[in-house]
Amino acid sequence: MKRFVFLNLLLLTVSLSVSAQSTQLKYSDFDSWITRDIKESIIIGGKKQELYEIGPTGTWDGKKPYTNQGGSPWANSNIMAKVAGVVKTNVSVYPEPRGDGQCVKMVSHIVGVKVLGLVNIHVLAAGSIYVGKMLEPITSSSNPFGYLDYGIPFTQKPKAVQFDYKVKLSDKPDRIRQTGFSPVKRIPGKDMPGMILLLQKRWEDEKGNLYARRIGTVFHRFGKDTDWVNGAQFEIHYGDITHESFFQPYMNLFSGGDDQKYALNSKGKIVPVKEVEWGTADDTPTHLCLQFASSFGTAYVGAVGTTLWIDNLKLIY
């Protein structure tokens, strides 16, 4: 039986409006959303699901693969999979009222699939938002990240990223890896939501392979429950950070493995973006990558109930 695919993930296409001191990514107040109504296949129950996208307020025909609307840079882990003709969805990102507007809520949960009432599959899915595009429908699990176009043209050098956030950690002491097709594996260590911002200088060779020099970096894991923290700023560190006191192995260059990032090359093919070296503070980036997720790590890994809320995101100069 072919696998159904549920994705966590990350990426970008960006629209900017510039003020004297900050650059606001379009729709990063998270006050407007697009609703998609999708009916899953009868063979797995025929349930009607609502999926949400960050963009101009409106609706989207659930029978069609989604593409970013209104110049929105944002995609998320709410996806439609169509494997062997069977339509299945994942919903782990939601709009939630906050003050006079809305914020984004991301949650890690278990997605269940019952085929003809006989085959029961359960998958751990984390909620994530990222600037970029998801290339729907998902048709295979052989390389789930191969549907993500990660990164956008971007040549500016902001000092920091700023946003409001709230965190609720799971009550579980450890994480799990639950793919639905192998035994559940316990992974030692508390689950935490995470944020990544990368500034890259990319190039493509004659075969269409993509490479990158890492110029700017932010990694942050939210390690405790909080009420709303407003206007939190996280400094962007330029150049090689491997000798900094805050450096951790997970902040290193992405050059393969389960957390490899992908993007669309000039030939229209999704390929890995291999970070091959560190840049310097004098380099000019070509691409920006930005992601928030309710669970850190790779696909199918996390703890049920870990939740992250984000609002009012800006780049600070």
Q: Report strand pairing: 152-153 vs 287-293.
A: antiparallel
pLDDT tens column, 53-84: 999 999 999 989 999 999 999 999 998 888 77
Average pLDDT over the chain, rounded to an integer? 88
* pLDDT on residue 179: 81
**Assigned CATH class of 16-316:** mainly beta
Distance between CA atoms of residues 107 and 207, nearest Å? 39
Instruction: For residue 310, give both structure tokens.
Output: 């984000």
Residues 6+ apart with CB under 8 A from 99: none
pLDDT at 159 over 90: yes
* pLDDT on residue 120: 64
Q: Domain residue spans in the chain?
A: 16-316
Distance between CA atoms of residues 36 and 58, nearest Å? 9
pLDDT tens column, 132-143: 999 888 776 556
Q: Determine the average pLDDT of the residues in 15-44.
A: 77
Contact 17, 24 (CB under 8 A): yes
Q: Determine the average pLDDT of the residues in 40-62.
A: 92
